[in-house]
């Protein structure tokens, strides 16, 4: 008989660029999603959960004349028929859902969605190939009130999840204003336009003089390499610079600067009017420039969107992995996109939306120490006598029924030290001990593990005598005594629960 070839053991690893989330990481994200959903819902948005898998055709990631789907998506072919793919955002599926159900959905259709999306991109530090998004979109409204509302909602949402006013800013810009600038410059469609847009994108890094050089002959970058310029005449840069530096003290002053930057361009004037409308609507609801401000330096996403664009930035500093202070930066962005549904139906449907990067927002709150990333460890009932497991189960059932998180130690009970080590690892505040003697006397030992750890670290003998970390209590008083200890450490909720 032929020898069966032994299969090597599989590697226990997540695929490259993927990760697992444990304990508080999971519950903190769930809490944040719930909080965001509540704000979105209060604003009149309805929940939608589309399938994680879409046809590549619907996602629109099939390049013409190419056999395989575009890069950037995880895709596979079903038995020589359809190509399927994991969604890479929540907007493309929304366009598909709206086109598919447009006769049954209200118009305008306000919907929110939350869940993982997948990107087939090179992973990097802190950049994963699966991450959460939390979107809200209004489909079927051309009114600037829809855009203003989404900015107001974004501001409310950030405060609801624990970013206080002053620690964030929502900045608004408008794609049409940029188009107006290009029109004033005399830059039409084509390569020059692309080169100008790329240059504008670099404003953050190279500043005004850098942009002037790059639009003209070119410039030496920091590494000493020479970057070719777009080759425009020096004065052509003026409208771009006027646009990029138009932010002034207050929205009206900014709007006046923008008007002069795009003077003579119809599309540009339409863009400035849209910004003006949004500012007025936000003002009426009490959202001033301390929360939402017009800022023409917002260029992210200008290529994708067709009208207003906005971005929420956290303004506080955090310490990066190398100990240097840095701005946290953007946590959400969105804008108006009026062409997505037309792919399916041929009819243009105006739409505007926002996407919150939930994982980035969680990282920001953690970096600021505003999430404990700790959870309540369970009360651990130790096992002194493995034949009396039923008694221990009775104790644990009693605690759980009183809404106290608890468990019986289920490992090998032989070594009692291991049981206490386990309780320590779980972050347990209290351990319960009941051997045969205690059972006969109708009592239990209750060990305050938090106090015990403190005493072990730095208590004097007197303190130790005064506040013993272990007490003996009548069995009938178990729940009450455990609650007392939890309360001492500020762990008991108002309703007496510990969960």
Residue selected from 1, 2, 3, 22 as contacting its own copies according to rule CB under 8 A: 22
Is residue 98 part of an annotated ligand binding site? no
Residue selected from 36, 176, 292, 391 as contacting its own copies according to rule CB under 8 A: 391
Is residue 40 part of an annotated ligand binding site? no
Is residue 305 part of an annotated ligand binding site? yes
Residue selected from 32, 36, 37, 195 as contacting its own copies according to rule CB under 8 A: 37
DSSP 455: H
Asked whether position 322 contacts its own copies by CB under 8 A, the answer is no
Taking the complex as a whole, the smallest distance from the CB of residue 432 to its own copies amounts, in Å, to: 13
Taking the complex as a whole, the smallest distance from the CB of residue 128 to its own copies amounts, in Å, to: 9
Q: Which residues contact 484 (CB under 8 A, 6 or more apart)?
A: none
Residue selected from 164, 209, 253, 280 as contacting its own copies according to rule CB under 8 A: 280
The two beta strands, 226-228 and 130-139, are unpaired
Residue selected from 100, 192, 445, 488 as contacting its own copies according to rule CB under 8 A: 100
Taking the complex as a whole, the smallest distance from the CB of residue 97 to its own copies amounts, in Å, to: 6
Q: Which of residues 423-452 bind its own copies (CB under 8 A)?
A: 425-426
Q: Are 491 and 376 in contact (CB under 8 A)?
A: yes
Asked whether position 20 contacts its own copies by CB under 8 A, the answer is yes
Closer residue to its own copies in complex, CB, 100/445: 100
Sign of the alpha-carbon torsion through 488, 492, 498, 499: negative
Planar angle of CA 7, 11, 16, nearest 5 degrees: 135
Is residue 29 part of an annotated ligand binding site? no
Is residue 91 part of an annotated ligand binding site? yes
Taking the complex as a whole, the smallest distance from the CB of residue 141 to its own copies amounts, in Å, to: 4
| Residue closest to 73 by CA, chosen among 356, 64, 84 | 84
Asked whether position 35 contacts its own copies by CB under 8 A, the answer is no
CA contacts within 13 A on the Cβ side of 432: 30
Residue 46, preceding peptide bond in cis (omega within 30° of 0): no
DSSP 124: B
Asked whether position 19 contacts its own copies by CB under 8 A, the answer is yes
Taking the complex as a whole, the smallest distance from the CB of residue 36 to its own copies amounts, in Å, to: 12
| Token pair listed for 373 | 């990333």
Sign of the alpha-carbon torsion through 433, 437, 442, 443: negative
Which phi and psi angles does 249 have, rounded to 5°? Answer: -80, 100
Asked whether position 63 contacts its own copies by CB under 8 A, the answer is no
Asked whether position 340 contacts its own copies by CB under 8 A, the answer is no
Q: How many residues bind its own copies (CB under 8 A)?
A: 106
Asked whether position 42 contacts its own copies by CB under 8 A, the answer is yes
Is residue 165 part of an annotated ligand binding site? no
| Token pair listed for 332 | 């959400």
Is residue 295 part of an annotated ligand binding site? no
Asked whether position 453 contacts its own copies by CB under 8 A, the answer is no
Site mask, its own copies, residues 136-175, x = CB under 8 A?
Answer: --x-xx-x-xx-xx--x---x-------------------
Q: Which range touches its own copies (CB under 8 A), out of 133-141, 238-246, 353-361, 439-447?
A: 133-141
DSSP 250: S
Taking the complex as a whole, the smallest distance from the CB of residue 480 to its own copies amounts, in Å, to: 19
Asked whether position 70 contacts its own copies by CB under 8 A, the answer is no
Q: Which residues contact 29 (CB under 8 A, 6 or more apart)?
A: 21, 132, 358, 359, 362
Asked whether position 273 contacts its own copies by CB under 8 A, the answer is no
**What interhelical angle do 24-42 and 144-160 show, nearest 10?**
140
Residue selected from 70, 74, 267, 270 as contacting its own copies according to rule CB under 8 A: 74
Closer residue to its own copies in complex, CB, 313/402: 402
Start-to-end CA span in the chain (Å): 59
The two beta strands, 75-77 and 308-319, are unpaired
Helix (H, G, I), strand (E, B) or coil at 8: coil
Closer residue to its own copies in complex, CB, 38/220: 38
Q: How many CB atoms lie within 10 A of CB 235?
A: 8
Taking the complex as a whole, the smallest distance from the CB of residue 245 to its own copies amounts, in Å, to: 29
How far apart are alpha carbons 222 and 152 in whole angstroms?
A: 40
Q: Which residues are annotated as a binding site for L-histidine?
A: 89-91, 119, 133, 137, 300, 304-305
């Amino acid at each position: 008989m032929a020898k069966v070839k032994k299969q090597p053991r599989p590697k226990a690893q997540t695929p490259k660029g993927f990760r697992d989330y444990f304990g508080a990481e999971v519950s903190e994200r769930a809490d944040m999603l719930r909080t965001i959903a509540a704000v979105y819902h209060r604003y009149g948005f309805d929940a939608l959960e589309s399938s994680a898998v879409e046809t590549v055709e619907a996602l629109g990631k099939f390049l013409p004349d190419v056999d395989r789907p575009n890069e950037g998506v995880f895709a596979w072919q079903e038995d020589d028929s359809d190509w399927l793919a994991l969604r890479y955002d929540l907007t493309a599926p929304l366009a598909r859902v709206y086109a598919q159900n447009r006769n049954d959905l209200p118009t305008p259709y306000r919907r929110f969605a939350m869940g993982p999306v997948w990107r087939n991109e090179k992973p990097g530090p802190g950049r994963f190939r699966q991450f959460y998004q939390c979107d809200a979109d209004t489909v079927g409204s051309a009114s600037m009130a829809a855009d203003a509302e989404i900015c107001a909602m974004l501001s409310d949402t950030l405060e609801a999840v624990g970013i206080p006013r002053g620690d964030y800013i929502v900045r608004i810009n408008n794609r049409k204003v940029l188009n107006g600038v290009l029109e004033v410059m005399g830059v039409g469609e084509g390569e020059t336009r692309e080169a100008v847009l790329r240059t504008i994108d670099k404003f953050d890094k190279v500043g005004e003089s850098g942009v002037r050089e790059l639009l003209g002959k070119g410039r030496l970058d920091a590494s000493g390499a020479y970057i070719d310029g777009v080759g425009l005449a020096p004065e052509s840069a003026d409208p771009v610079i006027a646009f990029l530096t138009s932010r002034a003290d207050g929205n009206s002053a900014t709007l006046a600067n923008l008007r002069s930057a795009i003077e003579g361009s119809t599309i540009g004037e339409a863009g400035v009017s849209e910004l003006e409308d949004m500012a007025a609507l936000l003002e009426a609801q009490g959202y001033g420039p301390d929360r939402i401000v017009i800022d023409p330096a917002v260029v992210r996403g200008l290529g994708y969107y067709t009208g207003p664009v906005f971005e929420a930035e956290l303004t506080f500093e955090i310490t990066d992995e190398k100990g240097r202070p840095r701005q946290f930066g953007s946590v959400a962005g969105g804008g108006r996109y009026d062409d997505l549904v037309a792919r399916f139906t041929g009819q243009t449907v105006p739409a505007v939306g926002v996407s919150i990067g939930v994982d980035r927002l969680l990282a920001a709150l953690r970096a600021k120490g505003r999430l404990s990333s700790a959870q309540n460890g369970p009360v651990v009932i130790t096992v002194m006598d493995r034949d009396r497991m039923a008694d221990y189960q009775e104790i644990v059932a009693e605690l759980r029924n009183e809404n106290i998180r608890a468990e019986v130690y289920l490992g090998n009970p032989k070594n009692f030290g291991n049981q206490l080590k386990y309780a320590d690892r779980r972050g347990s505040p209290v351990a319960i001990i009941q051997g045969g003697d205690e059972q006969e006397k109708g009592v239990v030992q209750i060990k305050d593990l938090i106090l015990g750890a403190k005493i072990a670290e730095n208590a004097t003998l007197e303190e130790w005598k005064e506040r013993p970390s272990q007490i003996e209590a009548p069995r009938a008083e178990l729940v009450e005594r455990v609650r007392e200890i939890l309360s001492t450490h500020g762990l008991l909720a108002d309703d007496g629960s510990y969960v």
